[in-house]
Amino acid sequence: MLAIKNLQLNSSGKLKHFLSIEGLDKSLLTEVLDTAESFADISEQRVKKIPLLRGKTIVNLFFENSTRTRATFELAASRLSADVLSMNIATSATSKGESLLDTIRNLEAMQVDMFVVRHSLSGAAHFMAEHAAPHISVINAGDGQHEHPTQAMLDMFTIRRVKQQFSGLRVAIVGDILHSRVARSQIHALNILGAQEVRVIAPKTLLPAQVESLGVTVYHDLAAGLKNIDVIIMLRLQKERMNSALLPSESEYFKCFGLSDDKLKCANKDAIVMHPGPINRGVEISSSVADGPQSVILQQVTNGIAVRMAVMSMTMHSNAGTE
């Protein structure tokens, strides 16, 4: 844990890489949110560009497919006037091809300044940060089942905009916690920012071992778990989890853990509904809830750009300071 912390911060405690929420403190997370707030206005102006990262080259390195995350990272980089190169590197377990290290070395040789990396294996971003040249910042855009810290920060940003503060908030994260890097980052972020309670609601097949140790209370019943809840975060259920030994069927999952209008009524009246997307309508959430008045799902997408701009500019500036 200590090593993650040290690796992410430079000698003066500024953000050098953004690899995990774990290991960061409240003031840093708040700084990310405040910085994002200042960038949010830019997106609403007619000319959506500021020259903060002009002349910098950012490489989006996606070893795993993603549409939205990649798109918002690209937009964030271009709004900061950086040059962006996006690479989709399809990998399969059987043919690994070029090693991660060789990929890093090759791109370094092209004089880039930042890697935004998504990888199917936990620890991949951490590995890149450890081995990349000192002037390069690494931003984790999701590593295996570990963390997806920018997603968690845009969720925090969205929560703060609606609820103003975290103290006193009760948040429920519903669904596939076991395979979710988003959930891990959210749990850390909510605890660091001082939420009153973080609950996870899922069947035992979708919960990691000793999940309580992450700082959550566990529920297996959606209605009971949503009681007194201010923020509901639904997780995407990957189709491939179905018809395995993890879950019997989509319909049974929806009956137990899907967020319907009825279930939503168990939460506080002013509860907001979030989802990192893409949504499986009728599997984890009903259309009426996803498109309903309590849903902030599309705001999350919008906020993603400002938050990623904030993280990119903060890591790049702390790095410039150390040169």
> For the window 53-72, what string marks contact with another protein as x by the rule CB under 8 A?
--------------------
Residue 95 makes contact with another protein by CB under 8 A: no
Among 70, 79, 184, 199, binds another protein (CB under 8 A): 184
Residue by residue, DSSP assigns 179-209 as T-HHHHHHHHHHHHTT-SEEEEE--GGGS-T
Residue 21 makes contact with another protein by CB under 8 A: no
Cα dihedral sign, 42-44-47-53: positive
The site for another protein, by CB under 8 A, has a size of 29
Give the separation between CA 53 and CA 46, rounded to whole angstroms. 19
Residue 124 makes contact with another protein by CB under 8 A: yes
Please give the C-alpha separations between residue 68 and each of 62, 132, 136, 305, 316, in angstroms, as whole numbers: 12, 26, 24, 10, 23
Residue 119 makes contact with another protein by CB under 8 A: yes
Give the separation between CA 189 and CA 194, rounded to whole angstroms. 9
Residue 22 makes contact with another protein by CB under 8 A: yes
In whole angstroms, the minimum distance from the beta carbon of 116 to another protein comes to 16
- Joined together, the tokens standing for residue 241 give 């989890």
Show Cβ contacts of residue 244 under 8 Å, excluding neighbours closer than 6 positions. none
In whole angstroms, the minimum distance from the beta carbon of 11 to another protein comes to 20
- E strand or H helix at 316: helix 297-322
For another protein, the closer CB: 79 or 181:
181
For another protein, the closer CB: 122 or 302:
122
For residue 301, the SS3 value is helix
Residue 92 makes contact with another protein by CB under 8 A: no
Binders of another protein among 270-309, rule CB under 8 A?
Answer: none
Classify burial at 53, counting beta carbons within 10 Å of its beta carbon; exposed 0-12, middle 13-18, buried 19 or more. Answer: buried
In whole angstroms, the minimum distance from the beta carbon of 95 to another protein comes to 13
Residue 123 makes contact with another protein by CB under 8 A: yes
Q: Write out the residues near another protein by the rule CB under 8 A.
A: 1, 3-4, 22, 96, 99-101, 119, 121-124, 126-127, 131, 143-147, 181, 184, 208-211, 213-214
